[in-house]
Structures are given as C-alpha cells and as structure tokens.
Amino acid sequence: MDKFAQATEKPKRSFIRLNEVISRTGYGRTSIYRKMEEGTFPKSLKLGGPPKDPSIFDSRAIAWIEDEIDQWVEDRIDERHSV
C-alpha cells in the first residue's frame, strides 16, 4: 500500500489488549513495558480511567490504541527498508 493510500485511511480507533500487542509485535510483556519506559513504544492507557472515589473498586485493565501499534510496526518495517 502506498503512502497516499495510508494517509487517506481512517485510523483504527479501537483498543487491543496485551496478548494482541504481543502477537503483533513479537515482543514479550517485559520488553513491551521496558520500551514504553524508554519512550520507544506506544503507551498503554487505563480502561477504567482515574477513580473518582478511592473507596470504589479501581479497574486495572489496560489496552493500547490499535492504530498506534500498527503504525509502530509499519515504522519498524520502513526502517528496515531504508537501511
């Protein structure tokens, strides 16, 4: 797919969970979190949002934005082709 076609596509605005991120990137859990800390991998987001009341159960579920992960993979492929 050429760059113009990619630019005109609507971004995928859905969430994917850790198992899917692992599957798409080939990285393990530890590597993903390490790269997030380094700033070289898309950040996850908390699905439950910030708790309004600390006494209420706080959902710890996280996910990544699908389009950000797909773009990260595409960037790695483009880097390989430019070497």
pLDDT > 70? residue 2: no
Whole-number average pLDDT of the chain:
86
Residue 21 lies in a domain: yes
Residue 4 lies in a domain: no
Instruction: Give the total number of structural domains in the chain.
Output: 1
pLDDT by residue (tens digit) across 43-82?
999 887 666 776 776 678 899 999 999 999 999 999 988 8
Residue 32: CATH number of its domain: 1.10.238
Residue 39 lies in a domain: yes
| Over residues 3-21, mean pLDDT | 77
Q: Which residues contact 52 (CB under 8 A, 6 or more apart)?
A: none
pLDDT > 70? residue 22: yes
Q: What SS3 class is residue 29?
A: helix
Residue 7 lies in a domain: no
- What's the predicted TM-score (pTM) here? 0.75
Output the CA–CA distances (angstroms, integers) from residue 63 to 4, 8, 44, in the order listed: 29, 25, 5
Containing structural domain, residue 53? 13-82
